[in-house]
C-alpha cells in the first residue's frame, strides 16, 4: 500500500478517512472497553480526525486528544473539530522516537485508540510503550493488518511490506507484550468499501491531470481497490480490545 508518495498525498488530501473503518467500530470499542463518560482518550495516528468526534461523543464529560506525526493532518483535524473544546489535536508519534509527543505525555488514559497505524512501530513495541500511559483499568483498542493464512503469498503481497499477522500470531504478540485480549472483532467490509469508494472517486476527479507520477499513483490506487475486492475473504484489519495483565 505504498506507491509514489507525492501522488499518494494528492489523492488522499482532504479525504474524510485515511483508511478503512466506520463510526460503529469506534462505538463498539468504547462500549466493550467500558469507557466512562468522564474518560480521557487518545487517538494515536488520528489522521484527519475522522474518529475524534465519535470518541468525544462517548465521553461527554471527558476529553479526547488526537496525535499524528503529520502537521497537515493535525491542522485538518483541528479545523474539523475547532468548535469542540473537549477535542484537542497535537503533533506526536506513537513511540516518540523522533522527538514528538508519545501517549505517555498526555496520560493517564482510559482508552488509547489506534486505527490502522500500530504496525508502523509494531504491535509489541507499541503496547509495551503505551502501558505507562494507561490509567488503572484502561484499555488499548487497535486495528492491524492480518491475513487468514501466513502462507497465502497473494494476500501477504497486498500489504506490500507492511507488518502483518494472522489472528493467532497477532494474539501471541499481544500476550508477549503483557496484555490480555478482552474482545475481538474485525473492520467490516462496509468500512473498506467506503474507504475505496472515496479513493476511487478522487481518482476519477484527478484523471484528467496530465502528470505521469500522479497517473501512476491513480493506477496503483485502483489496482489496490480491485485486489482488495478479490481477496477480502483472505485479509483485512483485525480489531482488538486489550488490557495490561
- 45 with 68: CB under 8 angstroms? yes
The verdict on residue 197 lying in a domain is: no
What pLDDT was estimated at residue 93?
Answer: 66
Is 56 within 8 Å of 86 (Cβ atoms)?
yes
| Residue 214 covered by a domain | no
- Give the pLDDT confidence score for residue 161 in this predicted structure: 72
Closest-CA residue to 23 (of 44, 60, 49, 41): 49
Structural domain includes residue 199? no
**Domain housing 158:** 17-188+233-244
Residues 6+ apart with CB under 8 A from 147: 155, 156, 159, 164, 165, 166, 234, 235
Mean pLDDT by 10 residues, the chain (245 residues): 67 90 93 95 94 97 94 94 96 60 81 92 91 95 95 93 88 98 96 96 95 94 96 96 97
CATH of the domain at 118: 3.40.50.150
How many CA within 13 A on the CB side of residue 26?
24
Asked whether residue 167 is domain-assigned, the answer is yes
As given in the structure block, the three cell numbers for residue 239 are 480489531
How far is the CA of 197 from the CAs of 64, 65, 182, 234, in angstroms? Answer: 28, 28, 32, 20
| Neighbour count for residue 197 (Cβ, 10 Å) | 11
Which pLDDT score, from 0 to 100, does residue 92 have? 79
At 98 the pLDDT is 53
Assess if residue 138 is contained within a domain: yes
Q: Domain for residue 41, yes or no?
A: yes
Q: How many domains are there within the chain? A: 1
Residue 209 within a domain: no
Q: Distance between CA atoms of 44 and 35, rounded to whole angstroms?
A: 17
Q: Is residue 198 part of a domain?
A: no
Amino acid at each position: 500500500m505504498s506507491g509514489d508518495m507525492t501522488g499518494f498525498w494528492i489523492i488522499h488530501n482532504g479525504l474524510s478517512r485515511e483508511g478503512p473503518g466506520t463510526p460503529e467500530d469506534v462505538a463498539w470499542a468504547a462500549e466493550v472497553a467500558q469507557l466512562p463518560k468522564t474518560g480521557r482518550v487518545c487517538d494515536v495516528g488520528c489522521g484527519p480526525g475522522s474518529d475524534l468526534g465519535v470518541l468525544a461523543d462517548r465521553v461527554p464529560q471527558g476529553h479526547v486528544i488526537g496525535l499524528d506525526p503529520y502537521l497537515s493532518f493535525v491542522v485538518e483535524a483541528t479545523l474539523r473539530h475547532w468548535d469542540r473544546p473537549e477535542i484537542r489535536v497535537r503533533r506526536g508519534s506513537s513511540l516518540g522516537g523522533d522527538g514528538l509527543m508519545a501517549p505517555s505525555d498526555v496520560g493517564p488514559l482510559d482508552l488509547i485508540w489506534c486505527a490502522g497505524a500500530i504496525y508502523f512501530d509494531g504491535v509489541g513495541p507499541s503496547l509495551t510503550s503505551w502501558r505507562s500511559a494507561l490509567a488503572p483499568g484502561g484499555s488499548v483498542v487497535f486495528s492491524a493488518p492480518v491475513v487468514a493464512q501466513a502462507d497465502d503469498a497473494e494476500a501477504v503481497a497486498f500489504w506490500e511490506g507492511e507488518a502483518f499477522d494472522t489472528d493467532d500470531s497477532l494474539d501471541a504478540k499481544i500476550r508477549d507484550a503483557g496484555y490480555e485480549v478482552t474482545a475481538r472483532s474485525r473492520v467490516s467490509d462496509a468500512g473498506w468499501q467506503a474507504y475505496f469508494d472515496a479513493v476511487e472517486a478522487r481518482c476519477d476527479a484527478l484523471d484528467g491531470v496530465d502528470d505521469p507520477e500522479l497517473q501512476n499513483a491513480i493506477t496503483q490506487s485502483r489496482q489496490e481497490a480491485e485486489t482488495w475486492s478479490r481477496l477480502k475473504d483472505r485479509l483485512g484489519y483485525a480489531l482488538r480490545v486489550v488490557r495490561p495483565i
